[in-house]
Amino acid sequence: MVDTTQVAVTILDKEYLIGCPEGERERLTASARLLDRKMREIRSTGRVIGADRVAVMAALNIAHELIQCRDLETEQERDLRARLKMLQEKIDAVLEEGEGSAPKL
């Protein structure tokens, strides 16, 4: 069973009490600060009015950034796999060469 505590976070000058598992407090407060910052940025443009709309736009921006990070991570994983395959092929080729030139007993 996971123990939870109530953590107070402030987003756009409004305080929320959030149930948080032990050991996750820092991540929760960091998430709240990120959301607060994004919402303030959006609100400051003056193009989006209303806390609900600001929250939705902030959520969309954060989700977009998350998807971009995942896509980049996937691309980097593909590159890494290709490099590892190439290295393994080189190692195999060197080992095969070495077996052919080793003295026979």
In a domain, 9, yes or no: yes
Q: Which of 26, 7, 25, 32 is nearest to 17 (CA)?
A: 7
User: Mean pLDDT score of the chain, rounded to an integer?
Assistant: 90
Domain that holds residue 71: 4-100
| % of the chain surpassing 90 pLDDT | 68
Q: What's the token pair of residue 51?
A: 């806390």
In a domain, 54, yes or no: yes
Q: Is 90 left (phi over 0), alpha (psi -120 to 50) or beta?
A: alpha
**Count of domains observed in the chain:** 1
In a domain, 79, yes or no: yes
What's the whole-model pTM score?
0.67
pLDDT tens sequence across 79-90: 999 999 999 999
In a domain, 105, yes or no: no
Mean pLDDT over 35-59 rounds to 92
33 φ/ψ angles, rounded to the nearest 5 degrees: -65, -40
CATH number, domain at 35?
A: 3.30.160.880
What local confidence, expressed as pLDDT, does residue 7 receive?
95
Q: For residue 104, what is the DSSP state?
A: P
- The answer to whether residue 103 scores a pLDDT higher than 70 is no
What local confidence, expressed as pLDDT, does residue 1 receive?
62
DSSP three-state, residue 93: helix
Q: Please indicate whether residue 97 or residue 24 has the higher confidence score (pLDDT).
A: 24
